[in-house]
Structure 1
Amino acid sequence: MASVESRNKLIASALCKHLSLDPSIIPADSLGSDVKNLYSNIKAASANAVNQSDEVLKWVEFAEAFPLTLESNFENLKTLNDELSVKSVLLGNGLKTSEADVIVFSAIHSSVINLSNPNKEKLPHVLRWMDYIQHKEDFVGLFEKIPLQKPEFEPPVNGTKGKPAGDKESTKVKAKPAEKEVPEKDNELSVSLLNIQVGLIRNAWKHPSADSLLVEEIDVGETKLRQVVSGLAKYCSPDELTNRLVVLITNVKPGKLRDVMSEGLVLCASNEDHSKVEPLLPPQGAKIGERVSFSGIDGKPEDVLNPKKKQLEKITPNLFTDEKGVATFKGIPFMTSGGPCTSSIAKATIK
């Protein structure tokens, strides 16, 4: 069983690395005190981090109250898992880790790494978050890496459609053609190739020559509104879309849909039989024009997606809403400055 002092030593060492401080500045007697006092001592020595916000202190208190015994800490981890189901990190926009993330990671690491695999499977958001922290922070020598099985998209191989998952013939057919027909790099396309932005629909109207289509003028912070054609006429009226926040891909190649120019793709969630379709909804605090981010995924979007490379078609199978309706790429939330993008349709496909 871990002791308070050993836990605090890990927290102090991790925070000092995060803040680029010499660990020797920490008074030895503070390692046996509460986490809040320890945090105050470290903050006092840091020239670039002076404020102790209420939000950080909330997570300092969580770390302090976290049980040190395996028998009693799983409920606390489930609470943290629920909290992380709608955010990529504890504080901030996910582009860098916060002091709160470092403190809580340090406090719970030994408990998480010692969990049984069945219990780890019950904490997908905690594991995803911890994997992000351990890759963003230099914790070499402090913490053992926690392995995380990340989902991979395997495109279907010709000739296997309709075969049951356990069919031996199906397994044989998939193994060899997959090496020849599906280049390895195709499975590695990142969502960062897409320029997904928050937009506000200023105007919407029915397409003049297609009953299933609507035309929207969307503000994404550019000098002029961006015109987009969407297949939403069956599901939304122009009035319902007007003044609505949406997320859209703005680096698709512009083209005409039934003689009307379209300069983007509004991302929508759909249930299995497509009887219900709705645009993803950014939170009210999201800023018009901001780019949606994904925790742990960096990269520059393409200037314009190349239709011949089918980049969009290879990425969208990994876009879906989770059981709480949070929009994700491989389980990683679509994040904005105001929080995650969501849908009222849980476990939906996103296109």
Structure 2
Amino acid sequence: MSGRAYQLAYGTQEDHRGILLVATYCGIQDQLHANQASKDIQLTTSDGQQLSTFTSICRYLSSQSSKSQQLLGATPLDRATVQDWLSFRNIELHGLSEAQLLKVDQRLQCKVYLVGHSVSLADLVLFATLYRALANIPSAQIIDRYPSLFRWFDFLQHTVDPAGHYKRVDVRKPKFQRAPAPPAPVAKAEKAKAADAQPTTSSTSNTTAQPVKESKGAKAKSTSAAAGSTKERVDAEPAATTTAASGHVTDAATPVETPANASKTAGAAPSEATLPKQDGASKQQKGKEAPAAAKKAGDDPTIDMLDIRIGQIVSVKQHPNADSLYVEEVDLGEDKPRQIVSGLVKFVSVEQMQNRRVVVVTNLKPAKMRDVMSYGMVLCASNDAHDQVEPILPPEGVPLGEKVSFEGYEAEPEAQLNPKKKIFEKISPDLKTGADGTAQYKSAPFMTSKGPVISTLSNASVK
């Protein structure tokens, strides 16, 4: 292949840039010698054969590269789909009217790539064909009128053209709006204290307004009752302390009002000095309840507890003991690939799994699945019926082993998740794909150095 050379005569800069984009992606740009010496486009091969249409030249260059299977299709269905898109481009995309762009936008709904799960020749050719029209449309109009087309185009311009044959189209992306923080939880102890305080104040107020003159016998009885009440309070305090330390609030820490208490308050409203036991018990209860409440609020797991990284499947085989499971070797930029077991046999073929780039949770505790150890989990999107499942897709060019980030969640992940705490199970309900297929935790997208992680399934769960 290294000895081959191709002579390209082109008539327009659009044709030249499109073919150069394909040749560069194929890795054979150095073998292509171009000059603008003809009105019509023409490629002459090293053995003298000539091709004279844009799509036929692109197909031929793709077939001569090491990426021919990826670009032209690995299966009969993929090859037919690539050809369908090329025919659509040749027949319908002339002049690029608004109606034609809307038609493309509709066909791109729920698609990341035009064919399969990686860049194909259809993506490259359609990108080159649409570039001039999209570069001249105001940014806001692209987003409002052609949201699916914009998403696909913007993703490709950041992934398939590192050489910069096309000037980047500056498109204003809609900002992610973070959901407002939930209100701080109110400690149960505070609620109980407020509820207990109200009737006590009312009772004290009524007693103060209507003082009662005590007889000597009543006074002695009142004094005896007060002594009994004090003893009850002292005996109850250890039980109240133990209960408050466990985070639960009972009435044991609150002194019970007796006739003696009422008689003491007959002349004036009580001060802090009048009821030292009640004040001390309340402070003790409040002091011990607050840390318990804070600990409870801090126990809610968040996405930054997971160590999520970009990997690539380097080998895949059927599980020896389970028909529905694959055993994959995934390169995560470590010393050696990790063995991971995934239940994807019913949804993704071996050919589609091989060399696929994936997103992996790497800090789960290793688990044995039907006698085979698994050292991670490949994250997948699934529709509600669970009849469509596929691994979510990182952008092209992300280094293997790169950690996926989430805006607003920047703590260091756990070294290894404790399965008893069910951290992933508590986080997973908030892992979804948006209407545009972007994978996200709550409102924060899965971000890499090359852009967001995506899926062809929109409004799907991720786990």
The alignment's TM-score, normalised by the length of structure 2, stands at 0.41
Root mean square deviation of aligned Cα? 5.6
Q: State the match for 2:394 in structure 1.
A: 294
Aligned to 1:37: 53
1:156-167 residue pairs with structure 2 within 5 A? 156-157=180-181, 159=183
Distance change (3 Å), C-alpha of 1:194 and 1:119: closer
* Native 8 Å contact 1:201 1:245 kept in 2: no
Larger Rg computed on CA atoms: 2
Aligned to 1:124: 147
Q: Measure the CA separation in 2 of the matches of 1:65 and 1:8.
A: 17
Tell me, yes or no, if the aligned pair for 2:17 and 2:128 is still in contact at 8 Å.
yes
User: 1:281 aligned to 2:281?
Assistant: no
Query: How many residues are paired up?
Result: 265
Offset at residue 129 of structure 1 (A) = 1.8
TM superposition shift of 1:105: 0.5
Q: 1:156 to 1:45 in 2, by over 3 A?
A: closer
Which of 135, 140, 147 is the aligned partner of 1:113?
Answer: 135
Which whole-Å CA distance do the structure 2 matches of 1:268 and 1:55 have between them?
Answer: 23
Residue 292 (structure 2) aligns with:
none
What is the deviation of 1:217?
11
**Aligned-partner residue type, residue 100 of structure 1:** A
Query: Relative to total residues, which structure has the larger helix share, 1 or 2?
Result: 2
1:253 to 358, 361, 364: 364
What residue is the counterpart of 2:23 in the other structure?
16
Please tell me the residue identity of whatever aligns with 1:48: S
Taking the aligned partners of 2:29 and 2:342, their CA distance within structure 1 comes to 50
Secondary structure of the structure 2 residue equivalent to 1:10: helix
- Partner Cα separation in structure 1 for residue 58 and residue 378 of structure 2: 47
Q: Verify the 8 A CA contact 2:21 2:165 in the aligned structure 1.
A: no
RCO higher in structure (CA 8 A, sep ≥6): 1
Q: Do the aligned partners of residues 64 and 253 (structure 1) sit closer, same or farther apart at CA in structure 2, a change above 3 Å counting?
A: same
**Equivalent-residue separation in structure 2 for 1:140 and 1:227 (angstroms):** 38
CA distance in 1, matches of 2:17, 2:182: 52
Identity of aligned residues (%): 13
Question: Paired residue for 1:144, among 168, 178, 185?
Answer: 168
The 3-state SS of whatever aligns with 1:13 is helix
Give the Å deviation of 1:93. 2.3
C-alpha contact (below 8 Å) 1:86/1:333 kept by paired residues: no
Partners of 1:196 and 1:279 in 2: how far apart?
A: 24
| SS of equivalent to 2:132 | helix
| 1:40-55 matched pairs, under 5 angstroms | 40-41=56-57, 44=60, 47-48=64-65, 54-55=80-81
Relative to structure 1, is the Cα distance of residues 87 and 253 closer, same or farther in structure 2, using a 3 angstrom cutoff? same
Matches within 5 A, 1:319-338: 319-320=432-433, 322=435, 328-329=439-440, 330=445, 333-334=454-455
User: What secondary structure, in the 3-state scheme, does the structure 2 residue paired with 1:115 have?
Assistant: coil
SS of the residue 1:62 aligns to: helix
C-alpha separation in 2, matches of 1:5 and 1:195:
40
Aligned positions of 1:188-337 closer than 5 A: 193=309, 219-221=325-327, 251=362, 253-254=364-365, 279=386, 281-282=388-389, 292-296=392-396, 298=398, 299-300=400-401, 306-307=416-417, 317=430, 319-320=432-433, 322=435, 328-329=439-440, 330=445, 333-334=454-455
